[in-house]
Structure 1
Amino acid sequence: MSYYIEDLQSDLSAEYRKTLTEADIVLFAGLSGDNNPMHIDEEFAATTRFGGRIAHGMLSASLISTVIGTRLPGPGAIYMGQNLKFLKPVKIGDTVTALVTVIEVNQEKQRVRLLTECWVKGEKVIDGDALVWVPRRPV
């Protein structure tokens, strides 16, 4: 679904859910160049406070971009800014739910402020907010 700025109102929300796999971690490491052993080396990661490998924080956060670009507001929306707080680690096999909720709409500037969260098993793992430009309805 795609929304125009005229369609948006506070508390409107959308989500995207994905189970992170071994392939996702390896592909993200390759794409991003982030080969931190926390993500790709089980032997190393087992010696850390997490007791094993964890997903890249930005991989989970990228699911927020999926919601913004495909669901709310959807195609045509342009990211202007994103604040993130990583609260808990995400492990391979976890299902991450990215939830985006409208918190403020500025019709004049065509901007929307969004609450951006990621959840795993009922626990918030990422908290943040985003500013997005949204197109007007064509005349």
Structure 2
Amino acid sequence: MEQTTYFEDCEIGFSRVTTGRTITETDFVVHAGHTGDFFPYNMNAEFMKKTPFGQRIAHGIMVFSIGVGLTASIINPVAFSYGYDWLRFIRPVFIDDTTRTRATIVAKEDDPKRHDPGRVIERCEVINRRDEVVLATDRIYIVERRKTA
């Protein structure tokens, strides 16, 4: 869906929640194959039985990728993603956990590198079925301002 939202239209506190996505064993295997990350915490069920987790935990970067991907439902032709300021893995995600992402505008500021557009900071929180935050990051958007006559 396309929706033009200029810098002036972005409201601090505006929040949206995505649909859910169940994390599967296939996700673990595909992610490990793509990245080469076969760390035993993610891939060795027998090893993990002996840990406090008791089972394999999802790769943090995989949870990040899926969580951010879930927010990609609106195309804004006057904005683009500039990157992420910080990233925290707060709780483990396991096979068969269903996650969704809550994205909330937390700040707006002038862009020190560009004259016209501004920066909009959106806090992305991946949450599990118990509404616990499992991952948090701040995404920075560069957003055009309305042209004035």
Coarse TM-score class (shorter-chain normalised): 0.7 to 0.9
Following TM superposition, the consecutive aligned residue runs of length 4 or more in structure 1 with deviations greater than 4 angstroms are: 73-76, 135-138
1:5 paired residue number: 7
RMSD: 2.5
2:140 to 120, 127, 131: 131
| Corresponding position: 1:21 with 2:24 | yes
* TM, length-normalised to structure 2: 0.77
Q: What amino acid maps onto 2:93 in structure 1? A: V
| Residue in 2 that maps onto 1:46 | 49
Alpha-carbon deviations, 1:17-58, whole Å to 9, x = none?
Answer: 211011111111111221111111111111222111011111
Number of residue pairs the alignment of both structures matches: 138
Cα deviations across residues 74-120 of structure 1 (Å, max 9, x unaligned)?
56522322311111100000011111111122365331111121111
* Residues 104 and 113 in structure 1, CA contact (< 8 A), matched pair in contact too: yes
Provide the rounded CA distance (Å) in 2 between the counterparts of 1:74 and 1:29: 32
**TM value normalised by structure 1:** 0.82
Query: Where do 5+ consecutive residues of structure 1 fail to align?
Result: none
Q: Does 1:89 align with 2:92?
A: yes
Structure whose alpha-carbon radius of gyration is higher: 2
Q: How high is the sequence identity, in percent, across the aligned residues?
A: 33
Gaps of 5+ in 2: 111-115
